[in-house]
Amino acid sequence: MLAPKPRVIVLAASKGGSGKTSLTASLAVRAMKDGARVALVDAEPQKSLTLWWSLRGKPGNPFLHAYSGDPVEDADALKAEGYQWIFIDTVPAMVEHIERAIEAADLVIIPTRVSAFDLVAARAVVGFCKLHGEPFAFVLNATDPKWKKGIQSAIAMLKKLGPVVPKSIRHRTVYASAITAGKTGPEARDTKEAKGAADEIGAVWTTIRKMASAAVRAK
């Protein structure tokens, strides 16, 4: 049986505070649990993903690749090294850097919160995805079940722009607390909250995995 082709997931948002880095780490760890070799590229100047990886103990899986300044070159190098999943965390606001990362992608994930500012900012990333013909999907992040109408409205607006991952990510303190210890929400000590995080990250990952695999097969 042939090994699956490498797949590159770019997480992009033209506005800060979307929870992009936390989601990158969570998805990478989830992919690793499938038995895959996973690599990370931290193209964000604050290097939050790099700090997380260091706090985790600088593991070989997921492996952190030293960012060269060109995400396309980095993705190609990691593919050649046999990594099956490559996650690129991008810088917000600097659109030229976001665009270059999108060129490296098999699938672009756009995390967004339930706010008018986030929804408007998402359009810039969508524009680059369409320009370069790259598939993308929104993940609604840091939601609260009490915001039922707001969530429904946000999903309706996003669906006018493109696909929305059916499962949203709830606002849970374990995501923030775990990442400062080199963990992810599903790995937190709070068993109940960790299970909730694991369920939603697992559901989001299932959708992303299917979309990315289909995109690679179509190329």
134-172 residue pLDDT tens: 999 999 999 998 999 999 999 999 999 999 999 999 999
Reported as a pLDDT band with limits 50, 70 and 90, residue 4 is: confident
Residue 131 predicted with pLDDT over 90: yes
Residue 118 predicted with pLDDT over 90: no
Return the H-helix or E-strand segment holding 177.
Answer: helix 173-179
Q: What is the dihedral of CA 158, 20, 216, 67, to 10 degrees?
A: 140
Residue 2 predicted with pLDDT over 80: no
Total structural domains in the chain? 1
How far apart CA 166 and CA 96 sit, in angstroms, is: 29
How far apart CA 191 and CA 172 sit, in angstroms, is: 12
Here the tokens at position 163 are 């696909």
Query: If you search the block for the tokens 């997921």, which residue do you land on?
Result: 62
How far apart CA 159 and CA 82 sit, in angstroms, is: 35
Note the pTM of the prediction, 2 decimals: 0.96
Q: What is the pLDDT of residue 3?
A: 63
What is the Cα Rg of the chain in Å?
16
First to last CA, the chain: 20
CATH number at residue 180: 3.40.50.300
CB burial readout 67-100, b (16+ within 10 A) else e: beebbbebbebbbeeebbbbbbbbbbeeeebbbb
Q: Could you tell me the residue range of the domain that residue 134 belongs to?
A: 7-218
pLDDT of 10-23, one tens digit each? Answer: 999 988 888 999 99
Q: Does a structural domain hold residue 1?
A: no
CA distances from residue 88 to 39, 43, 176, 185 in whole angstroms, order as listed: 9, 7, 20, 19
CB burial readout 29-60, b (16+ within 10 A) else e: bbbbeeebbbbbbbbbeeebbbebbeebeeee
Reported as a pLDDT band with limits 50, 70 and 90, residue 1 is: very low
Instruction: Walk across the sheet containing 107-112 and list its strands.
Output: 63-65, 38-42, 85-89, 7-11, 107-112, 136-140
Q: Does a structural domain hold residue 200?
A: yes
Q: Does a structural domain hold residue 2?
A: no
Q: Does a structural domain hold residue 109?
A: yes
Q: Does a structural domain hold residue 29?
A: yes
